[in-house]
Amino acid sequence: MPDGPQAALASKSPALRYRRVLLKLSGEAFAGKDGDPVDLDALAGFAEQIKEVHRLGCELAIVIGGGNIVRGLSASEKGVDRATGDYMGMLATLINSLAMQDALEKLGVMTRVMTAIAMHQIAEPYIRRRATRHLEKGRIVVFAAGTGNPYFTTDTAAGLRAMEIGAEVIFKATRVDGVYDADPLKHAGAKKYDELTYIDVLNRGLKVMDSTAISLCMDNQLPILVFNVLEPGNIKKAVCGERIGTLVHPGPRRRPGKRARSADASPVP
């Protein structure tokens, strides 16, 4: 259980559905429309949402992608060695993590960046017990550099860190309001799922998280909530258990009063 200032906050927020959360943010969500890799206005907006959730007493850890700067797989497709490209991507996540730390600390929120690749001058090395202690003390923790290994995505890093710190759920914050059977930004008739099981995601090849991350969450029954982070207030709604986005879970439980919609209009088993 949390102690100190964080415990006092949590005790005042009985409406919280989740007390410890791993928030996975897309690096692309940081990108500016004018080509800047980091849109400071967008970053400030995310920081405001995160501060609001933190004040409710939620212990929050964050993993940020690096796609707004460089994506390892994309680099390898252009001729860069795959392992080298992945290490480039890990460094990109550190840049985003430092930007998020700066935005949060400007709002008075204590934040620690922990990296899986040692860079002592700018971030703490990732140590599981130290990470959980930061959370207990009311600090937000940003995990950078993925797992520290090539061939693993930040999605997999999010699943791994979530289980290591004892998170109750992964929030996969994206630019769309859930999981669809096709890209809703390209296909107007795409159908949204209210709920899915891990097996549904894998069998249907749905773009929730990569298959390694989904399998990891499935093996440990860690739920994933996918929602639109660009909609102000959605992180708070998710933490408080409001019905937004798409919930990926072991099954067969469903949200009360909801039927999951699938591509064939049949309920999720």
In a domain, 56, yes or no: yes
CATH of the domain at 93: 3.40.1160.10
At 263, the pLDDT band (50, 70, 90 cuts) reads very low
Angle, nearest 10°, between helix axes 128-136 and 4-11?
50
In a domain, 32, yes or no: yes
Residue 269 to residue 266: CA distance in whole angstroms: 9
Span 50-76, mean pLDDT?
Answer: 92
8-12, 107-111, 165-169: range with lowest mean pLDDT: 8-12
In a domain, 263, yes or no: no
Q: Does residue 267 surpass a pLDDT of 90?
A: no
In a domain, 260, yes or no: no
| Per-residue pLDDT, 5 | 45
| Per-residue pLDDT, 40 | 93
Q: Does residue 2 surpass a pLDDT of 50?
A: no
In a domain, 35, yes or no: yes
Helices (H), the chain: 4-11, 40-55, 72-77, 82-106, 128-136, 154-165, 198-204, 211-219, 234-239
In a domain, 267, yes or no: no
| Per-residue pLDDT, 253 | 55
At 73, the pLDDT band (50, 70, 90 cuts) reads confident
Q: Does residue 252 surpass a pLDDT of 70?
A: yes
- Determine the structural domain holding residue 202 and report its residue range: 4-249
Per-residue pLDDT reduced to its tens digit, 12-23: 456 899 999 999
CA distances to 58, 159, 189, 241, 253 from 16, rounded to whole Å, are 8, 22, 34, 7, 20
In a domain, 13, yes or no: yes
Q: Does residue 6 surpass a pLDDT of 80?
A: no
Span 169-190, mean pLDDT?
Answer: 91
For residue 233 the two structure tokens come to 């207030």
In a domain, 25, yes or no: yes
DSSP 38: S
Per-residue pLDDT reduced to its tens digit, 135-152: 999 999 999 999 999 999
Angle, nearest 10°, between helix axes 211-219 and 154-165?
20
For residue 161 the two structure tokens come to 């860190």
**Of 268 and 164, the one with more pLDDT:** 164
Mean pLDDT of the chain: 88
Q: Provide the number of structural domains found in the chain.
A: 1
Which segment, 14-23, 158-167, 204-213, is predicted with the most confidence on average? 158-167
| Per-residue pLDDT, 255 | 52
